[in-house]
Amino acid sequence: MTQVWSLIWDSFRESIDRMMFWVMVVLTVVLAAAMACVSFDEKGVNILFGAWKIESESFSLSNPDFSSFVGTIVVKFIADYYLGLLGVIVALITTAGVFPSLMTSGTVDLLLSKPMSRSKLFLSKYIGALTFVFLQSLLFVGLTFLVMGIRWHVWIWGYWGFVLLLVILFSYLFAFTALFGVMTRSSLTALLLTGVAWMVIWTPTAAADTLEAFRMAPGMTVNGEPVERSDEMGKWERVFRTASWFVPKTTDITEIAGQWVGAALFSDLLLSVSDSAPEQQRRDLEESREFESKVSPVDPLTSIGSSLLSEAVIVLLAMYQFGRRDY
Amino acid sequence: MTTHVTEITSLAVDLIGVKKSYGRSVEALRGVNIQVRKGEVFGLLGPNGAGKSTLVKIMMTVVRPDAVAGTILGRPIGHLGKKSVMGYLPEVTRFPNYLTGRQVLDYYAQLSDVSASDRRRVIPELMERVGLSHRWHDVRCSKYSKGMLRRLGLAQSLVNDPELVVLDEPTDGLDPIGRRDVRELLTELRSTGKTIFLNSHLLSEIEMVCDRVAILNQGLVARQGTLTELTDHSVECHIKVDGDAAALTAEVEQQGGEIRDGMIVMTQHDGEKVNNMIDLLRGKGIMIESVVPHRFSLEDVFVQILGADARGLKTVEPGKTPPVAARPVS
């Protein structure tokens, strides 16, 4: 066990030695500080510690749905864009070199000469990279949780689940980075190929979701033209849905996060702030709301379970590559 | 039977038929047999591309062999329990540059399953022992010079108090004082009963510290034995005469000698032939100025083997016992 801890700890030390780690820490602190500049009271929103006040019924503590609205904002903007995209990309950039640098001459020779198996070495390094992301996520979620609690008076305990979800999301992609890193011994190539893999694994779920949207919203129009629903579309939806079962489902993570924080539907949020919007716009939003409420929710266990299985296959492949080659 | 068992257990390294190819065209090792006794300093010599580093990497499981039999410390190659009592210094070492020298040793000691109390005790001692003074202990190794990194690497190879230390070019990058320090350290390690497997290009270094030597060439062991075995029979006798020695070519060749640089060179260690040659010269009334026996150095033997192999004259095929001494080939 000493060996495993030693390797994990070394991965962490290696990561914090990189500039990107500190860039992410600074970004986290800046975002938390920016969030802290906003607070809510019974009447609405206070910005810059009361320097600017916006009256809003929806975004006030008097709104009983306020907590779920905050959850929606957190999921849509923090989980989806900031952590799910920027955070994961930064984490991948930071950790892309873990295996290529491990496999450089002079490093790998020493490690392989130690009394441990190659698979143990590989998995320890892999877990080390995940630990690094876990700590980054913990810092981010911890800080923003406190800001939301203290400044916004909203204590969303399910928000802590983001830490786990982010590590899982990162692990889906890092499995590819590890595989390509082991195969090519190049951080840059591994990173670029991971980007390609991300697109590939995103495609089946995205395609199936789009086709499901057509199915669930019969009145949907594209460029003003109503979309005809055909059996062919249904067939392709099943094909993509089946295909998505075999790849890590990165897009499901945001929805699972929404479930865990009890987020309101995004169209509900938009509707609540569009009192003065034109009638047509409100009708469109209500249609969107109806559609959103009809879409079948993601089952976290099935989604994460099948994704982790796919990830395990990729990791095993990478481990096999690492174990069989000469250095 | 008793003798056989004793022989086996007295071997720290017993490699039989080690083969390794890279692709279809490159045969790095073609059936190497090497035996290293416990407590000795064993030197592995060979020209570039002979397969030395491949062999060392196979011993340390960095490279997977195509075929191998035998044992290291009585267990098959790669046995994890035995790896914990082996130390290794690769030809190239790349330490994590975010760690200090002390942290580097602590990290590799942990990977070798050294207990925390032993690490605390051993690491400062080792650093001093390899010549890294106290003020460098807590300095990041990215600040170390090439020589200091080599010393740190050496300390790393000893951090688990190994029974067998495998050193690949340990003095590479060291200044003359550093090289002397390493030689002294090796001698000290031998006195404590440790087995040392030394891979080096430096023949003088091997000659100074090694008990036994193997010369690897073109993926095969060309020679293996003690330094004395390798050089003892490789003796020439140089006879300098007054006058033109070339005129005696026919007689000299008849006695098994040759004319080289105006001197008669008896190319075999054969006292009788040398005496016959001297009698012959006296009989002809030729003045003998000097008779100098010349023992080959390891370098001479090494160069001869390489020269012979280059001409296809000497190759010890797999499965055959390599001769322990070289016949000088002029």
pLDDT tens-place values along chain B, 330 residues long: 444 444 456 899 999 999 999 988 889 999 999 999 999 999 999 888 889 999 999 999 999 999 999 999 999 998 998 999 999 999 999 999 899 999 999 999 999 999 999 999 999 999 999 989 889 999 999 999 988 999 999 999 999 999 999 999 898 888 888 888 888 899 999 999 999 999 988 888 888 889 999 999 889 998 888 888 887 666 788 898 888 888 888 888 888 888 888 889 887 667 788 888 888 888 888 889 998 887 777 887 788 777 765 554 444 444 444 444 333 333
Identify whether residues B139 and B155 lie together within a single domain: yes
Given the DSSP bridges, would you call strands B212-217 and B41-45 parallel, antiparallel or unpaired? parallel
Identify whether residues B224 and B243 lie together within a single domain: no
Instruction: Tell me what pLDDT residue B3 has.
Output: 47
Q: Which of B286, B274, B273, B280 is nearest to B244 (CA)?
A: B286
Token duo for residue B171? 């003095």
Separation between Cα atoms, residue B153 and residue A110, nearest integer Å: 10
* Nearest C-alpha in B relative to A104: B94
Q: Which of A28, A103, A40, A100 is nearest to A69 (CA)?
A: A40
CATH number at residue B275: 3.30.70
Identify whether residues B209 and B248 lie together within a single domain: no
Identify whether residues B261 and B185 lie together within a single domain: no
Q: What is the domain extent for residue A225?
A: 2-324
Identify whether residues B51 and B179 lie together within a single domain: yes
Instruction: Tell me what pLDDT residue B221 has.
Output: 92
Are the CB atoms for A162 and A257 separated by under 8 Å?
A: yes
- Which tens digit of pLDDT belongs to each residue from B155-165? 999 999 999 99
Identify whether residues B158 and B284 lie together within a single domain: no
Nearest CB to A10 within list B83, B84, B107: B107
Identify whether residues B126 and B226 lie together within a single domain: yes
Instruction: Tell me what pLDDT residue B313 has.
Output: 42
Identify whether residues B176 and B44 lie together within a single domain: yes
B88·A13 Cβ contact <8 A:
no
Q: How many domains does chain A have?
A: 1
Q: Which of B33, B96, B28, B103 is nearest to B68 (CA)?
A: B33
Query: HSE (CB half, 13 Å, CA atoms) of A2?
Result: 14
Token duo for residue B6? 């004793």
Identify whether residues B226 and B262 lie together within a single domain: no
Distance of residue A213 Cα from the nearest chain B Cα, in angstroms: 51
- Residue where a domain stops, chosen among B212, B230, B248: B230
Per-residue tens of pLDDT for chain A, all 327 residues = 789 999 998 888 887 888 888 888 898 899 899 989 988 888 888 888 878 888 877 778 887 877 777 877 777 777 777 777 888 898 999 889 999 999 999 999 999 999 999 999 999 999 999 998 998 899 989 999 999 899 888 888 888 988 999 999 999 999 999 999 999 999 999 999 999 999 999 999 888 888 887 776 656 666 666 666 667 778 888 899 899 889 999 888 888 888 887 666 666 666 666 666 677 777 777 777 666 666 677 889 999 999 999 999 999 999 999 999 999
Residue in this structure with the two tokens 């009334």, named with its chain if needed: B285
Buried b or exposed e, range A231-252, using 16+ CB within 10 angstroms = eebeeebeebbeebbebbbbbb
Q: Which of A26, A252, A36 is nearest to A136 (CA)?
A: A26
| Substitution target from B53, B54, B62, B88 for chain A, most A beta carbons within 10 A | B62
Residue in this structure with the two tokens 């001869």, named with its chain if needed: B304
Instruction: Tell me what pLDDT residue A218 has.
Output: 58
* Nearest C-alpha in B relative to A11: B96
Q: Is A274 an 8 Å CB contact of chain B?
A: no
Separation between Cα atoms, residue B77 and residue B68, nearest integer Å: 9
Is B315 within a domain? no
Is B13 within a domain? no
* Set of chain A residues whose Cβ sits within 8 Å of the Cβ of B64: 324, 326
A109·B90 Cβ contact <8 A:
yes
Is B25 within a domain? no
Nearest CB to A14 within list B80, B98, B113: B98
Token duo for residue A221? 């129009």
Instruction: Tell me what pLDDT residue A127 has.
Output: 93
Q: What is the domain extent for residue B50?
A: 36-65+76-230
Are the CB atoms for B99 and B143 separated by under 8 Å?
A: no
A107·B94 Cβ contact <8 A:
yes
Q: How many domains does chain B have?
A: 2
